[in-house]
Amino acid sequence: MDPQISRVIRTSKRCCDPLIPAMACFKLNPTSFALAAAVAVILAVAAPRPAAGASAHLHVYMHDVMGDSAMMVVRGPRGNFGNTVVMDDVLTEGTSASSAAVGRAQGQYIVASSKGGFELMVTMNVVLTSGAYAGSSVTVMGRDDTGVAVRELAVVGGTGQFRMAKGYVLWKTVRPDLLELDIYVNP
């Protein structure tokens, strides 16, 4: 046997218990340990996080007009279960469709209740096009039980000033084609 290999085998047997994984036998010199610790700290500090001061409360109205900005793209096999609507709804400052537009609600909702109710699974991006948050978006997902006056959906992310945001949306039906949204976004 090659003397170099024999020395490595003897050394590895001498430093490790057979029950301890081989990686546990390696020893880091102080310089290597300091370098590994510095890299870990840099990676932790440089990890993407929400923009400073990204906490916000947005109050908007969503104009969900079937056939105009919302289209049924799938009809479920029985009753309404499985019906899927894709939306690109205007978001405004006020209840009137002619009030100032602040963004779009782009996504889908699916009738997720097989028991005849209108419980929806909603996924959408609230894309802001004007004001202090123009160019940013908030991603919303959750259950919309249309039989309840105020529903809560989750903010599960975002972009721009709301990168990696968390929060919630309080969602109310004003009339069948108009929803009031209070969006609370936290960094």
Domain containing residue 130: CATH number: 2.40.480.10
Task: Say yes or no: 19 and 111 in one domain.
Answer: no
Outline where DSSP puts E strands in 93-149. 101-111, 119-128, 137-145
Tens-digit pLDDT profile for residues 2-32: 555 555 445 544 445 555 444 444 455 666 5
Task: Say yes or no: 30 and 71 in one domain.
Answer: no
Tens-digit pLDDT profile for residues 70-87: 999 999 888 889 999 999
Judge whether 51 lies within some domain: no
Hunting for tokens 């036998």 — which residue is that?
A: 25
CA distance 11 to 32: 21
The pLDDT value recorded for residue 10 is 52
Which of 159, 5, 180, 177 has the alpha carbon at shortest distance from 93? 180
Tens-digit pLDDT profile for residues 25-82: 445 566 655 555 555 545 444 444 444 554 899 999 999 999 889 999 999 888 889 9
Asked whether the beta carbons of 163 and 30 are under 8 A apart, the reply is no
Amino acid at 60: V
Looking at the DSSP bridge assignments, the partners of residue 167 are 155, 185
Q: How many domains does the chain have?
A: 2
Judge whether 71 lies within some domain: yes
The pTM (predicted TM-score) of the whole model is 0.70
Whats the size of the chain, residue-wise? 187
Return phi, psi of residue 152, to 5°. Answer: -120, 125
Task: Say yes or no: 106 and 62 in one domain.
Answer: yes
**Span of 20-24, 92-96, 99-103 with lowest mean pLDDT:** 20-24
3-class state of residue 89 by DSSP: strand
Parent domain of 32:
3-46
